[in-house]
Amino acid sequence: MALRTQAQLARRRRIEAGIRRAAPFLDVLLAAADRVSRVAGRGQPDPEPPRRTLRADARTTLDGGPERP
């Protein structure tokens, strides 16, 4: 593994310090966004269950057409 230069180490320390300072604000933002998404999603209907075919041997291709022999 290559050794880091002094400039690279200093840049890394500055970036990590900025992330440490921003972390509490980002945590609050994530918590608020979680609450908003839960409230906004309450009125949505549940997804439809997958449809089944009447015959067990009826198969289709990925494009929806009948299977070719």
> Has residue 5 been placed in a domain?
yes
> Has residue 56 been placed in a domain?
no
> Has residue 6 been placed in a domain?
yes
SS in 3 state form for the chain?
A: CCCCCHHHHHHHHHHHHHHHHHHHHHHHHHHHHHHHHHHHCCCCCCCCCCCCCCCCCCCECCCCCECCC
Q: What is the pLDDT of residue 57?
A: 61
Q: What is the pLDDT of residue 41?
A: 76
Mind listing the pLDDT tens digit for each residue in 9-61?
999 999 999 999 999 999 999 999 999 988 887 777 777 777 766 665 666 66
Q: How many domains does the chain have?
A: 1
Domain around 25? 1-38
Q: What is the pLDDT of residue 66?
A: 55
